[in-house]
Chain A
């Protein structure tokens, strides 16, 4: 692990001396010490905080640990129970996937679309930009509270406007067939602004000459974007994709603020928290859910890395 930084050091070194001798001379004992410390600390922190905790979670997921009693090995019982008799697990997986599909196919493309529009220097472009970006400044927990103020059945704004108070309001957040869509709408509201600002920053860096060339060649705006700008934006596209996936898998605060993630708003992250942190303290069981969430995440990470490495090696 000490080796990789060496070329970096050398690359920044003035190339006056021959490379071989330079390497030997420039890496003094002190350099090696500094490098070992810098890299070593990072590696230790990485091992302890990321790999260590992950491995412990995996180990705990095969036990019935409750935080205090002696740990008892229970094999795959937790996994078996989660997959066979936990009625909330299926809903949670479905909701995480819905989140991914909704953000990936609707919110993210819409954010990109807005960025492209704003990039065309419309009038009041700054105003639109700020208005669309505003929700990103709010935490998702705050958006959860806003959602309740707007959609609550007895006291919400929407039902008041519709004149449906006094017990006949629409149960936007309590009806398990409706509430996930309402939450996605509000989570998407924030996500759109986030993606828009990221993409807008990327678009500014695309060489205008590319677009001009496309226009001269007779491309319409859609073709210009899809064939010229979009491919040129590959690094930003990758970031947007990664952020969308991460946002979908780590979703938690908005549903927790609304109804602590129950009754149709279950998410894998909520099940982990409810089991491990709550009064229940089913640490082994919760760890098993966390491990499944980690496996899903790893699936995306590996796919992504394989793609990146393959493209880079071309």
Chain B
């Protein structure tokens, strides 16, 4: 691009230093110098001079971390700007997000689409990047909506998404003559058969507090429809509604077929059980299966299919497919640079660079290259493309204060007792806490 060519009039103090350092043959110094002067020249240097941009990342596991580095390397060589990636362990990053955004955030920060982003936009922590969005191509309306705040402005750029669904092992199913269940009744029949055959039917883990939310969301969307899910998460529907009680009621009938001791098992451990074919089925997102598979052959052998239908009126029309991406904090020091990087992240090139390393997710930009997709990625695309509605996830579709302090413990307590007689009291309690929390306005 023209940006990479410097004309004499655009020479700044830093680029002179950089030239001097390069001339001296010191390769590592320019980055350091630029990093030291982070933000100091962002206002005056304009669009065409080299900039330093900092990126806050929660991509802390080895593969995603390499993927981000791949994307950033591509950006740096394309733009000539320097990006300093600050990676934080993902749970710590998410726990500290409020203080991070209020304090001294990076110029661009990793986050999740949907309500979980809108919450911070409404609180005024995020910079409006609608101008960046006006230049982006290849995103459909659903993706734009997921990146849009309550005020109609965009605050988020997606990088990829991954669908949740049910998984089985092809070799296991072939050898036993099982078929993927299409309806709830099929699921129960199959689970009973598996039990007869001495196999634990469904893998289950919720020590981390969030993995079981996916099952709740799916039963809810299959039984009551996508719109009810959205309204329930937004606090518009009551948790004491019979529709919600029915969800818990249906869920409780699955427990005889679950792996026992879910509250003492992490999702990684459940993923390992699935990888070793110790369980017949599991409800997971694609990365959870891919990352825990013992060998690539085990990934090839894993088949993703839609969560079984419950009410024929809804069929399997909704898919839960969380979108990850990046936002620009309002306190970003280098806003120009941040927007330039955000614009790049919104390109098909950026998605290609990331997904070349991490093939457990799928691209969201229609211009992205899908020719090298693995069979798992092809299945994932197949699922999301057929969906009429796409939800994010319970903890991304509702307020973080409600998800983190009420729903995690409510679902864990349901898993602990999972008896139909406790559902009324549970729902009454969730509703009481919901009313108390939603009484505080978001903005």
Chain A interface (Cβ < 8 Å from any Cβ of B): 64, 66-69, 72, 77, 81, 84-88, 152-155, 166-169, 171-176, 179, 259-260, 262-264, 274-275, 277-282
* Residue of B whose beta carbon sits closest to that of A151: B264
Decide yes or no: A274 and B209 within 8 Å by CB, A174-B262, A175-B263 being known contacts: no
Cα distance A172–B443 when bound, in Å? 43
Select B207's contact among A166, A167, A174, A275, beta carbons within 8 Å: A174
Select B261's contact among A66, A153, A260, beta carbons within 8 Å: A153
B73 at the interface (CB under 8 A from A): no
Q: Is the CB of B261 within 8 A of A174?
A: yes
Decide yes or no: A68 and B433 within 8 Å by CB, A153-B264, A167-B200, A174-B263 being known contacts: no
B441 at the interface (CB under 8 A from A): yes
Select B265's contact among A66, A69, A174, A262, beta carbons within 8 Å: A174
Chain B interface (Cβ < 8 Å from any Cβ of A): 94-99, 102, 123-125, 200, 207, 209, 259-265, 269, 272-273, 278-279, 400-401, 404-405, 408-410, 412-413, 416, 429, 432-433, 436-437, 440-441, 443
Q: Is the CB of B404 within 8 A of A278?
A: yes
Most buried by B among A87, A154, A172: A154
Decide yes or no: A277 and B95 within 8 Å by CB, A172-B264, A262-B409, A263-B263 being known contacts: yes
Decide yes or no: A67 and B436 within 8 Å by CB, A85-B429, A171-B264 being known contacts: no
Contacts A/B (CB < 8 Å), 23 sampled: A66-B401, A67-B98, A69-B440, A69-B443, A84-B432, A87-B413, A87-B429, A88-B409, A152-B264, A154-B269, A154-B273, A171-B263, A174-B264, A175-B263, A176-B416, A260-B209, A262-B209, A274-B404, A274-B405, A277-B96, A281-B400, A281-B401, A282-B437
Most buried by A among B98, B123, B272, B410: B98
Q: Is the CB of B265 within 8 A of A153?
A: yes
Q: What are the 7 A-B residue pairs with the smallest beta carbon separation, nearest first?
A: A174-B264, A171-B261, A174-B263, A280-B401, A171-B264, A279-B400, A85-B432
Q: Is the CB of B102 within 8 A of A67?
A: yes
Cα distance A314–B272 when bound, in Å? 67
Q: Is the CB of A85 within 8 A of B433?
A: yes
Select B436's contact among A85, A88, A166, A175, beta carbons within 8 Å: A85
Select A282's contact among B99, B261, B405, beta carbons within 8 Å: B405
Most buried by B among A64, A152, A168, A174: A174
What residues on B are CB-neighbors of A282 within 8 Å? 401, 405, 437
* Residue of B whose beta carbon sits closest to that of A80: B436
Report B204 CB to chain A, min CB distance, Å. Answer: 10
Cα distance A244–B273 when bound, in Å? 42
Decide yes or no: A279 and B94 within 8 Å by CB, A171-B263, A174-B263 being known contacts: yes
Q: Is the CB of A154 within 8 A of B436?
A: no
What residues on A are CB-neighbors of B124 within 8 Å? 68
Cα distance A57–B207 when bound, in Å? 31
Q: Is the CB of B264 within 8 A of A173?
A: yes
* Residue of B whose beta carbon sits closest to that of A165: B278
Cα distance A179–B207 when bound, in Å? 12
Q: Is the CB of A279 within 8 A of B261?
A: no
Q: Is the CB of A279 within 8 A of B263?
A: no
Cα distance A302–B99 when bound, in Å? 35
Q: Is the CB of B436 within 8 A of A81?
A: yes
Q: Is the CB of B99 within 8 A of A277?
A: yes
Most buried by A among B200, B416, B443: B416
Q: Is the CB of B97 within 8 A of A279?
A: yes
Q: Is the CB of B259 within 8 A of A155?
A: no
Report A85 CB to chain B, min CB distance, Å. Answer: 4
Q: Is the CB of A171 within 8 A of B260?
A: yes
Q: Is the CB of B123 within 8 A of A68?
A: yes
Select A77's contact among B262, B269, B400, B436, beta carbons within 8 Å: B436
* Residue of B whose beta carbon sits closest to that of A87: B429
Report A155 CB to chain B, min CB distance, Å. Answer: 7
Select A275's contact among B209, B262, B405, B433, beta carbons within 8 Å: B405
Report A43 CB to chain B, min CB distance, Å. Answer: 30
What residues on A are CB-neighbors of B207 within 8 Å? 174, 259, 263
What residues on A are CB-neighbors of B429 within 8 Å? 85, 87
What residues on B are CB-neighbors of A174 within 8 Å? 207, 261-265
* Residue of A whose beta carbon sits closest to that of B200: A167
Cα distance A117–B59 when bound, in Å? 53
Cα distance A131–B118 when bound, in Å? 54
Cα distance A251–B279 when bound, in Å? 37
What residues on B are CB-neighbors of A67 within 8 Å? 98-99, 102
Select A280's contact among B278, B404, B410, B416, beta carbons within 8 Å: B404
8 further A-B contacts with Cβ under 8 Å, apart from A279-B95, A279-B97, are A68-B123, A69-B440, A85-B429, A167-B273, A168-B260, A175-B264, A179-B264, A263-B413
Q: Is the CB of A81 within 8 A of B265?
A: no
Decide yes or no: A279 and B123 within 8 Å by CB, A87-B409, A169-B261, A174-B265 being known contacts: no
Cα distance A277–B97 when bound, in Å? 9
Select B259's contact among A86, A167, A280, beta carbons within 8 Å: A167
* Residue of A whose beta carbon sits closest to that of B207: A259
Q: Is the CB of A176 within 8 A of B263?
A: yes
What residues on B are CB-neighbors of A88 within 8 Å? 409
Most buried by B among A84, A169, A262, A264: A262
What residues on A are CB-neighbors of B278 within 8 Å? 166-167
Cα distance A154–B273 when bound, in Å? 9
Q: Is the CB of B102 within 8 A of A68?
A: yes
What residues on A are CB-neighbors of B272 within 8 Å? 154
* Residue of B whose beta carbon sits closest to that of A168: B260
* Residue of A whose beta carbon sits closest to that of B119: A279
What residues on A are CB-neighbors of B260 within 8 Å? 167-168, 171
What residues on B are CB-neighbors of A69 within 8 Å? 123, 440-441, 443
Cα distance A77–B264 when bound, in Å? 34
Cα distance A114–B124 when bound, in Å? 58
Cα distance A154–B267 when bound, in Å? 12
Cα distance A275–B409 when bound, in Å? 13
